[in-house]
């Protein structure tokens, strides 16, 4: 039953995501690998669309994946499943919210969880980068370094540098990189 | 009911003009909820953000839920959350049906090949941002490196690593270990 599975998967993602929407990406990659519902390369398309359309990116990505997997109803179901843990948890803890804020155990757990979230995203980043700039079909003949696409690597570094340097809105970089892709026929 | 609809449509409006993550929603929340509606104060918005980052769940939804709960309890919580996701569901659903049709066009394929590089660069900038906030000592550095290494080496669910890191965080702090 695809809908039941969608509900379960996105409920778990909602429950174990800490922080902003990009923190859900490691789960979406894991989901792709376990279920085969979509390709891992689909993730960068999804990020692009979700960053360039209104609405919080984590929610957009849930709708996008659900849509891809099981049509319009799948999109709605994935989204609602992902936000259900938030609705429940906020309702449960709201009465004690401000005691929670200074709860030591909570703070201590987050001391460990934050670098873990960063590590998970680093893994996904490196993996997506290898998909983006390596000619995977060439690795067996010319080796890992020989298969690096120099042009794409330079474009990646240039965009990364300008994000750090100019701090413009993500949509700006999505549009610019799309235009670069068209001009250079990537 | 009128109050609930107002909560729903207020968050619908806020979400419709938010581009990016939950943090991008903050200035819009402050304008709509604090200045226009005067439901809560600026300080409360900041507190809600701090709390939301310490709770499981998507940041934007946690914040919306808290404001909704503060106004009308559980039904307010649900109205605010649904208001936030409704524009996403509408827009993405319409867009994806178009995109699958566009995907075969050559120029779109070139555009997406470029966008792949841009989106990956955005992930790296997010990693840098997370790194600055989270890797504050050697123990955090170890958790960061080991997490990434385990993900490369083994087929393991990120959920397990999140839970383990939380436990490690508590144990390290309780034992008073200094990094």
**Candidate from B110, B141, B152 with C-beta closest to A182:** B110
pLDDT of res. B177: 65
Q: Which residues sit opposite B20 in a β-bridge?
A: A56
In this prediction, the answer to ipTM > 0.90 reads no
* CB of B115 closer than 8 Å to CB of B121: no
> Average pLDDT of A163-177?
87
The rounded mean pLDDT for chain B is 88
Name chain B contacts of A28, Cβ cutoff 8 Å.
none
Q: Do B84 and A56 touch (CB under 8 A)?
A: yes
Cα angle B51, B60, B143; round to 5: 60
pLDDT of res. A70: 92
In chain A, pLDDT over 90 holds for what percent of residues?
51
Cα angle A51, A28, B29; round to 5: 40
- Name the band, by pLDDT with cuts 50, 70 and 90, for residue A97: low
Burial A103-134 (b: 16+ CB within 10 A, else e): eeebebbbbbbbbbbbbbbbbbbbbbbeebbb
Q: Is the pLDDT of residue A43 over 60?
A: yes
Task: Tell me A17's DSSP state.
Answer: -
pLDDT of res. A100: 63
Q: Is the pLDDT of residue A110 over 80?
A: yes
* CB of B122 closer than 8 Å to CB of A173: yes
pLDDT of res. B150: 95
- Name the band, by pLDDT with cuts 50, 70 and 90, for residue B79: very high
- Name the band, by pLDDT with cuts 50, 70 and 90, for residue A32: very high
Structure tokens at A80: 């609602």
Q: How far is B4 from chain A (nearest CA, A)?
A: 15
pLDDT of res. A172: 86
Chain A interface includes B174 (CB < 8 A):
yes
Q: Which residues contact B88 (CB under 8 A, 6 or more apart)?
A: A53, A54, A55, A56, A59, A60, A63, A79, B15
Higher pLDDT, B140 or B157: B140
* CB of A164 closer than 8 Å to CB of B129: no
* CB of B24 closer than 8 Å to CB of A174: no
Chain A interface includes B53 (CB < 8 A):
yes
Q: Is the pLDDT of residue A137 over 80?
A: no
Best of B12, B13, B20 to disrupt the A interface by mutation (most A CBs within 10 Å)? B20
Chain A interface includes B173 (CB < 8 A):
yes
pLDDT of res. B50: 76
- Name the band, by pLDDT with cuts 50, 70 and 90, for residue A13: very high
- Whole-number Cα distances in Å, A110 to A135, B53, B96, B166: 39, 9, 36, 6
User: Which residues numbered 58-117 in B keep a CB inside 8 Å of some CB on A?
Assistant: 58-62, 65-66, 69-70, 73-74, 77-78, 81, 84-85, 87-89, 91-93, 95-96, 99, 107, 110-117
* CB of B140 closer than 8 Å to CB of A119: no
Q: Is the pLDDT of residue A95 over 80?
A: no
> Average pLDDT of B118-130?
88
The rounded mean pLDDT for chain A is 88
* CB of A58 closer than 8 Å to CB of A20: yes
Q: How far apart are CA B137 and CA B119, in angstroms?
A: 29
Q: Do A97 and B51 touch (CB under 8 A)?
A: yes
pLDDT of res. B28: 86
**Candidate from A14, A44, A121 with C-beta closest to B57:** A14
**Candidate from B56, B91, B148 with C-beta closest to A18:** B56
Q: How far apart are CA B74 and CA A44, in angstroms?
A: 36
- Name the band, by pLDDT with cuts 50, 70 and 90, for residue B4: very high
DSSP labels, B81-103: HHHHHHHHHHHHHHHHHHHHHHT
Q: Do B59 and A12 touch (CB under 8 A)?
A: no
- Name the band, by pLDDT with cuts 50, 70 and 90, for residue A102: low
Name chain B contacts of A14, Cβ cutoff 8 Å.
56-58, 61
- Name the band, by pLDDT with cuts 50, 70 and 90, for residue B26: confident
pLDDT of res. B179: 53
- Name the band, by pLDDT with cuts 50, 70 and 90, for residue B46: confident
Q: Is the pLDDT of residue B125 over 70?
A: yes
Q: Is the pLDDT of residue B103 over 90?
A: no
Q: Which residues sit opposite A134 in a β-bridge?
A: A148
Digit-coded pLDDT (tens) for A49-81: 888 888 888 999 999 999 999 999 999 999 999
Q: Do B107 and A106 touch (CB under 8 A)?
A: no
């Amino acid at each position: 039953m695809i809908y039941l599975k969608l509900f379960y998967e996105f409920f778990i993602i909602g429950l174990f995501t800490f922080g902003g929407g990009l923190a859900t990406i490691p789960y979406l990659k894991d989901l792709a690998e376990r279920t085969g519902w979509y390709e891992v390369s689909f993730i960068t398309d999804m990020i692009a669309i979700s960053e360039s359309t209104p609405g919080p990116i984590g929610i957009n990505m849930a709708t996008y994946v659900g849509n891809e997997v099981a049509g319009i109803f799948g999109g709605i179901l994935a989204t609602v499943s992902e936000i259900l843990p938030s609705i429940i948890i906020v309702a449960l803890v709201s009465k004690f919210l401000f005691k929670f804020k200074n709860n030591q155990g909570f703070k201590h757990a987050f001391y460990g969880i934050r670098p873990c979230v960063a590590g998970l995203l680093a893994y996904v980043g490196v993996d997506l980068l290898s998909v983006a700039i390596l000619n995977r079909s060439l690795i067996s003949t010319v080796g890992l370094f020989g298969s690096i696409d120099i042009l794409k690597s330079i474009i990646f570094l240039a965009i990364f540098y300008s994000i750090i340097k100019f701090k413009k809105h993500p949509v700006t970089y999505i549009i610019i990189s799309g235009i670069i892709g068209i001009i250079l026929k990537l | 009911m009128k109050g609930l609809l107002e909560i729903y449509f207020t968050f619908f409006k806020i979400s419709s003009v938010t581009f990016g993550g939950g943090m991008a929603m903050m200035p819009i929340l402050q304008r709509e909820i604090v200045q226009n509606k005067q439901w809560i104060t600026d300080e409360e918005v900041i507190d809600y953000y701090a709390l939301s980052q310490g709770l499981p769940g998507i940041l934007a939804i946690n914040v919306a839920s808290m404001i909704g709960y503060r106004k009308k309890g559980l039904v307010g919580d649900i109205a605010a959350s649904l208001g936030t996701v409704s524009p996403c569901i509408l827009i993405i659903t319409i867009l994806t049906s178009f995109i699958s049709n566009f995907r075969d066009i050559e120029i779109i394929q070139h555009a997406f090949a470029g966008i792949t590089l841009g989106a990956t660069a955005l992930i790296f900038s997010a990693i840098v941002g997370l790194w600055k906030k989270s890797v504050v000592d050697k123990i955090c550095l170890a958790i960061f490196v080991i997490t990434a290494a385990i993900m490369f080496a083994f087929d393991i669910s990120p959920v397990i690593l999140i839970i383990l890191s939380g436990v490690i965080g508590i144990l390290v702090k309780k034992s008073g270990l200094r990094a």
